[in-house]
Structure 1
Amino acid sequence: MPAPREKTCLHNSNCGFSKLLFVSLLILLQLLAVSFLIGIIIFFKKSQCLEEKETTRDLIHTKLECMEKKLTKEDTPPDRVWSCCPKNWKSFGSNCYFVSTESKSWGESEKNCSGMGAHLLGINSKAEQEFIIKILNPDFSYYVGLSDPEGQRHWQWVDQTPYNSSISFWHPNEPNNPDEQCVTVNFRSADQQWGWNDVHCDHPERSVCKMMEIYL
């Protein structure tokens, strides 16, 4: 009986093409699997970073003072009923305020506030201005988060809140010097009133930090 013949491709070119196609598909599947694995790793890393950012402020302030708050439909989020400020901060509206007794430049003061998860004070209403001046010492000036970086009288709040000239509390004849590009709130005995004053940003002054309340 003759020995069985080995199976061979009828057309060598087709056989080679099939093998090449198979190898290519195998490599493609491996690349897709690796890409999928890398995508999963990146996704979880990003999720972890977001969670860390969300809890950073809570970790900075380990001692909180909280009060029960009746929330309305307009409040966000509506299901939280405890509003908290870090210990030694003052609460007003939905924000917390810290009065620093250290004298620093405007930039150093903002850096100090940002290190506590806050910004230099932005004042957005007459009620807020009146609250602030009640907790300040009239013997000192305090930096707020308003500045004119280019010296063009284009005032900007450091927390990106739009500057509204109709909600401003400048002293009479202020601001008066384009070289004075930062702002303090202070008490003038001559006028017997509190107000805003433009000053040189490198002057060492006290400051006020502001942050949103922490909800539990």
Structure 2
Amino acid sequence: MSLYLGNQTTPGCPPDWTRLGSRCFIFQNSHRSMGDAENICLSLGGNLASVHSAAENRLLRELIRKESGEAFTNTQDLPSCLQKKPGQWMWTDGSNFDYQIWGPGEPNNHGGAENCIEMNWYWNDIPCFYGKPFVCAKDL
């Protein structure tokens, strides 16, 4: 797999989007709640990015690092991408929750209200009202 994150249009994706496989991704560096972020992604023709492989997780980390201009560290809070329904995690695009890379002791539902996920090197559950930058994804 090759990954190019230059400022050029990625073939098959709209300008400023990055392609991986049959999907396109774009980083949004504005702090929004999960619901607001999902609405923005819907307006762009996609959803909050769902992650289905280590390759997609790496792409999101690199995209966020490149676009934010910050080194990606264990303490860097990154996009919330998921919502929790009672007893199970669900991607907002309706796809299967078939890949996960939780941090040690996560998810822990601290305080009983952590129903969304933030990404750093590993995933952590957080309250959905926290404002975070985010990544949208859409199918080609």
Q: Does TM, scored on the shorter chain, surpass 0.5?
A: yes
What CA distance in whole angstroms lies between the structure 2 residues aligned with 1:197 and 1:65? 32
Match 1:205 to one of 100, 121, 132: 132
Q: Which has the higher helix share?
A: 1
The residue matched to 1:117 in structure 2 has which SS? coil
Match 2:113 to one of 179, 182, 188: 179
TM-score (structure 2 length as normaliser): 0.80
The residue matched to 1:86 in structure 2 has which SS? coil
User: Could you say which residue in structure 2 is the equivalent of 1:65?
Assistant: 9
Match 1:133 to one of 61, 73, 79: 61
Aligned pairs for 1:44-83 (under 5 A) are 65=9, 67=11
Select the structure of larger CA radius of gyration. 1
Residue 66 (structure 1) shift: 5.2
- Between 1 and 2, higher relative CO (CA 8 Å, sep ≥ 6) is seen in 2
User: Could you say which residue in structure 1 is the equivalent of 2:23?
Assistant: 95
User: Could you say which residue in structure 2 is the equivalent of 1:148?
Assistant: 84
Residue 41 of structure 2 contacts residue 136 of structure 2 at CA under 8 Å; is this kept in 1? yes
Q: Which runs of 5+ in 1 are unaligned?
A: 1-63, 68-83, 187-193
After TM superposition, where is structure 1 displaced by more than 4 Å over at least 4 residues in a row? none
What CA distance in whole angstroms lies between the structure 2 residues aligned with 1:179 and 1:140? 18
Residue 206 (structure 1) shift: 0.6
User: Could you say which residue in structure 2 is the equivalent of 1:37?
Assistant: none
CA deviations on 1:70-112 (whole Å, 9 max, x unpaired) are xxxxxxxxxxxxxx11111111111100100000000000000
Residue 125 (structure 1) shift: 1.0
Query: What letter matches 2:108 in structure 1?
Result: N
User: Could you say which residue in structure 1 is the equivalent of 2:3?
Assistant: none
Aligned residues: 122
User: Could you say which residue in structure 1 is the equivalent of 2:69?
Assistant: none
CA deviations on 1:17-69 (whole Å, 9 max, x unpaired) are xxxxxxxxxxxxxxxxxxxxxxxxxxxxxxxxxxxxxxxxxxxxxxx9353xx
The residue matched to 1:102 in structure 2 has which SS? strand
Q: Which runs of 5+ in 2 are unaligned?
A: 1-7, 66-71
TM-score (structure 1 length as normaliser): 0.53
